[in-house]
């Protein structure tokens, strides 16, 4: 058993448990649970992973992270159209994800994403999980396994479109980390992408659909929130 194996195993088990509780608990408290999940996983990574603790922010991490987020957003623009057209139930699943933005005031959600959830996910998934997997299996095999783990933990949501989206986003950040992009830039990328695609510029129609198949006017259908 190599160094970092126990924290990796415990971290992944914790991620499955906390993601399951986050997405399957009472809907109106989703953002409180998501924040606690971020704090828990991020804190565990900081306690057990040297790579997570080596975070050294630098000015160029900001433009690099913004460029990465922009590229990922363009990918999701294309993926949104594909999922709504070809994935069974894809349109309703995408709308269900976007409906989460109506549960709390948008400035509050943005603060949670920027200050806690986004940074914590990178510190955990790249700083702990991917670093341990790359040490054990090599740079690119480890990155591929980390991307599979990030997408796989979303299986507990039961939302096929969200699982696919997490897999694509995870592969993007895992590839960049394996290529040498520092954790600070990936934190900027992750948090910027979260806020932009979820709150400011959704990729398509976002109104929820009720049980009868009718559109519920929960929010604007296009454009900035």
Among 19-28, 91-100, 176-185, where is mean pLDDT lowest? 91-100
**SS3 call for 160:** helix
Whether 194 has a pLDDT exceeding 80, the answer reads yes
How deeply is 45 buried, as exposed, middle or buried, from its count of CB atoms within 10 A (0-12, 13-18, 19+)? buried
Give residues with Cβ within 8 angstroms of 85, minimum separation 6.
none
pLDDT tens for 27-58 read 999 999 999 999 999 999 999 999 999 999 99
What is the residue-averaged pLDDT of the chain? 89
Residues 114-172: pLDDT tens digits?
A: 999 999 999 999 999 999 999 999 999 999 999 999 999 999 999 988 999 999 999 99
CA–CA dist 222, 79 (Å, integer): 16
Tokens of 111: 């603060």
What pTM does this model have? Answer: 0.89
* Contact predicate 143/151, CB 8 Å: no
Q: Which of 132, 203, 130 is nearest to 170 (CA)?
A: 130
Of residues 116 and 205, which shows the higher confidence score?
Answer: 116
For residue 90, give both structure tokens.
């894809």
Q: What percent of the chain has pLDDT over 90?
A: 73
Nearest to 170 by CA among 58, 76, 30, 33: 76
What is the token pair recorded at 38? 């971020």
Residues 17, 170, 93: CA angle, nearest 5 degrees: 70
Mean pLDDT of 176-202: 96
Q: What is the mean pLDDT of residues 204-219?
A: 51
Q: How far apart are the C-alpha atoms of 39 and 21, rounded to whole Å?
A: 14
Distance CA 177, CA 37 (A): 22
Q: CA–CA separation, 195 vs 199, rounded Å? A: 5
Place of tokens 């939302």: 159
Tell me the average pLDDT across 185-204.
93
Asked whether the predicted pLDDT for residue 220 surpasses 60, the reply is no
Paired strand residues for 216: 208
| 196-200 mean pLDDT | 93
Residues 6+ apart with CB under 8 A from 123: 42, 45, 46, 52, 55, 183, 187
Rounded to an integer, the average pLDDT of 96-114 is 95
Q: How confident is the model at residue 79 (pLDDT cuts 50, 70, 90)?
A: confident
Confidence of residue 219 (pLDDT cuts 50, 70, 90): very low
């Amino acid at each position: 058993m190599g160094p970092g194996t126990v924290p990796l195993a415990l971290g992944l088990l914790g991620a499955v448990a906390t993601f399951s509780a986050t997405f399957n608990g009472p809907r109106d408290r989703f953002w409180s649970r998501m924040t606690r999940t971020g704090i828990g996983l991020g804190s565990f990574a900081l306690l057990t992973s040297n790579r997570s603790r080596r975070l050294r922010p630098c000015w160029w991490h900001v433009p690099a992270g913004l460029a990465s987020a922009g590229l990922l957003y363009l990918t999701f623009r294309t993926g949104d159209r594909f999922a709504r057209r070809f994935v069974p139930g894809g349109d309703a699943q995408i709308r269900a994800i976007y409906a989460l933005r109506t549960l709390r005031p948008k400035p509050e959600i943005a603060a949670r994403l920027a200050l806690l959830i986004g940074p914590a996910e990178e510190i955990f998934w790249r700083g702990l999980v991917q670093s341990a997997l790359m040490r054990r299996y090599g740079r690119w095999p480890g990155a591929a396994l980390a991307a599979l783990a990030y997408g796989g933990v979303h299986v507990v949501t039961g939302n096929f479109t969200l699982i696919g989206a997490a897999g694509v986003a995870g592969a993007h950040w895992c590839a960049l980390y394996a290529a040498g992009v520092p954790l600070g830039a990936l934190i900027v990328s992750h948090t910027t992408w979260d806020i932009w695609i979820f709150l400011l510029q959704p990729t398509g129609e976002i109104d929820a659909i009720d049980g009868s198949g009718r559109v519920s006017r929960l929010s604007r259908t296009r454009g900035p929130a």
